[in-house]
Structure 1
Amino acid sequence: AAVDLEETYRWGQQEVASLNAQMTEIAEGLEPGASVQRGVEILDADEKYQLQGTDALKAWMQARADEVIESLKDVHFDIPGPVQTIECMIAPTQTGGIYYTGPSDDFTRPGRMWWSVPKGNTEFRTWNELTTVYHEGVPGHHLQVGQTVYRSALLNKWRRLEAWTSGHGEGWALYAERLMAELGYMDDPGNRMGWLAGQSLRAARVVIDIGVHCGFDAPDEVGGGAWDYDKAWTYLTRYGFMDEKILRFELNRYLGWPGQAPSYKIGERLWLQLRDEVREREGDAFDLKAFHRRALDIGGVGLDTLRAAVLQEI
């Protein structure tokens, strides 16, 4: 998809400001006058968001994934039978993070969501990870990838098993997170803070990546003028809300891989614009479940192709 980089750079900064205003409101609801960072500290200390041990973590992941499949199927999504199964696993690696692997072509191996637990970690906090379960599982990558694999009558093997465009795939996963917020699954203050914190990181990545690689002036809050490593680090740590080691890795990756980091948030934006366009065209006849089915049945394509196919322009 064609992207107006100057407009998107401004939009990214507006998104960061909007998201952090919402986070501040939640923090103040937790404790009058609390900053976002103080809100994070309060949530980290709240026992209701804590799990002890990897067995409890795995069980929590599986329960959340199963619950959402049951509540979304036949209401907001057509979920084929084999795709209604997802396995949640503790990864053999110890690098940190959550990721997804798709099912085999015949579904003898189901789609799997993996949590890679760093060595020595035994306590886990759910308030900032529920949104990731939706991102990697349902309605995120598992539904997206699993439904594509299932559609052997519509799509060839390459489009079902190999085709991947970051803006399409990661944009869908962020759209899935937002959809869950829209449907009320993020109404709990902690879970909503977790979703907003993840969105803030993705929006900050848009600003840093485009600003650095296009030579746009940095925001005044980090000193304006030309971007440099220190300004990017200040911006990322202010709005990233993650461990310093992870943020260092993230920033170094952005500097060496232009365009990858902002594809998530820009992709989400284009998915939302497409949904709005279809809703406007169809009016009262618009059906969210039908929109999801139509879009996911196309498989992994570029966002311009997705739009043209959904709108039946090709």
Structure 2
Amino acid sequence: MRIMPLEKRGISNSRIAFGCMSLGGDWTAAPLTKEDYIVAEKAVEAALSIGITMFDHADIYKRGKSEVVFGEVLKQRPDLRDQIILQSKVGIRFQDDVHPQRFDFSKNHMIPAVDGILSRLGVEHLDVLLLHRPDPLMDPEEIAEAFNLLRSAGKVRHFGVSNMTAAQMRFIQNSLPEPLVVNQLELSLARLDWIEQGILVNQKAGVGVNFADGILEHCQMADIQIQAWGPLAKGIFSGKVLENAPDTVVKTAALVKQLAAEKETSLEAIVLGWLMKHPARIQPVIGTSSVERILASQDAIRVSENMTREEWYTLLESSRGVRVP
């Protein structure tokens, strides 16, 4: 059985990661409530109970409150830090009274941004730091300098990217002494550009595909972990009320339900298992804070291992609305 690139590198064997964007209340500057802490504690415990040991953050999530509330969980469970892998992201800066929303991979932003993450989480280091979205003004040599300073200070152990093309990864990697270990992308049964880009080669239907050429192949050849954000597609195939939804969504949701019944598993396990069946050994980053939905994800590994090629293609055809060319 093929193992994940992160496991090959000895970083993490957590087949699913937990995305913490849903923790920390709302996106305003309103203070955290007692309920926010309770939700975070229950979600983390649920994730741990099904074997999830990798937790994904970003400095912007709930304007830092996601990391604060998670830090309180760690404070209450001091033994937990050594049992988990912590990942966070930097590079997005919100609009304020003076400046526009922007991306910033400058050394002067990244280093204090990481200090802020560590402070909010109450930890001494991150296991993985990702560059959140491509910065058109990024300078690979400056990025390398920042990464080296963070690593030498013991603040970050590994580095990766999010939402980047193969060319952008190679561009940055050319200046780095250590390999990028992650690329986090939006991939799901509802977001199929990553599949379409490969199967619509030399097809007119491929003209409108919005997924850069060669990302999956590059990551697999370079042992870069592909992480999928939004893997549950906001629940549209796993129980969300579908009002005025396209026929493809309605029919695919029905098919997911049918397969879940046949395999005696959850809807979430079918949706995630389909994604995890891909030979890239994709690591879904589930973003729900619902204990029920977290627990429902547990069987995804078994589903991915036992899903047939025909079942996988049946789900693909249903979601895309037409057969493959």
- TM (normalized to structure 1)? 0.25
- TM (normalized to structure 2)? 0.24
Higher share in strand: 2
Between 1 and 2, higher relative CO (CA 8 Å, sep ≥ 6) is seen in 1
